[in-house]
Structure 1
Amino acid sequence: MRPVVETVEVIAAATIMVKWRDSVQPSTVRLDGWIRSGGTQRAGLLRPECFRKLLVSQFGNAILWEGCEGAVMTALLLWHLAEEQRPFTGEDARAWQARTKLTNDEVADLFGISIRTWRSYRRGGRVPRSVAMACRAMSRDPLPLQAHLHCPRHLRIYADPLAEG
């Protein structure tokens, strides 16, 4: 899928509403982090009078700010930011767990939470932003999962030569 921006509207400081060409659901996207990480090239967007001059490129493949040279964001990056900022639901938690093939014990150990807390997230309880960010990051890059996943003691599949006993 190649996202295409239909319209954009500034709704607050560093925040826009995006209507996508092939989607009924618009996205609210906060751009503070993107602006602040852009150094002097995007610094002008911190001024409301500059940020309000938001335009959609001719074919909807980017957004840009009139008079702020170099302040351009591709539709693909904008779509990824929108997805990252979308609330992480119980359905998302269940789907992530199914993709990673982790047990409830393993997920709880990975995040340092109780199994009961993880089950609450899966049932639709509020998922903390840190857990949502970690799940999404591990979906894009499995290295953190591989580095931090530990097999629960009762499932050890090898003898630990350093264990006493």
Structure 2
Amino acid sequence: MIINVRAKRIKVPEKVVEYIKGKLSKSEKYFSVINKIEVFLSKQKYLYIVEIIINIVGRTIKIKQQAADFRSAVDIAVNKVEQQLRKEKERVKSRKKSFRSYLLEDKYRQAEKVSMDLNKRKLVPVVSSIDEVVKIMDDNDYMFWIFINKDTNKLSVIYEKSESNYGLFEIEKRR
């Protein structure tokens, strides 16, 4: 996290700059993705003005505060920054929760649709060799085929992984 402190037409003591950086470095506990913090210090007659601009990923937070001295202006501004960061963190959390619930809801809706559109067919597996099944799959452009393997006498499923590349499941009986 980068913290830049700039002063306009005034000389700011190094202690005040360190004080500001120390206060603002604590704001990282709210967001670990704070890119940059800009602090502008200025004085108008008897008031000290502190303006803080925080760049978070996708958002910018601006705070402007006036007070009789730098420290009180910085303290008030930092408190406002912390409030804004807390609000932003809560906003992000609530968005994530609502998005998760939306995704779960969508999954359940899709699962209901799938179960409603289910076509049932009865299958009597044919005894064949793997070469015969591959030829049938190629001729008819099937993705998989269920059969009884002639060599092992087991129920098997052959499926197409990619062009001219196949996988084979041999189904065992439960014990």
Q: What range is the shorter-chain TM-score in? A: under 0.3
> Radius of gyration: which is bigger?
2
State the TM-score, normalized to the length of structure 2.
0.22
Give the TM-score, by structure 1 length.
Answer: 0.23
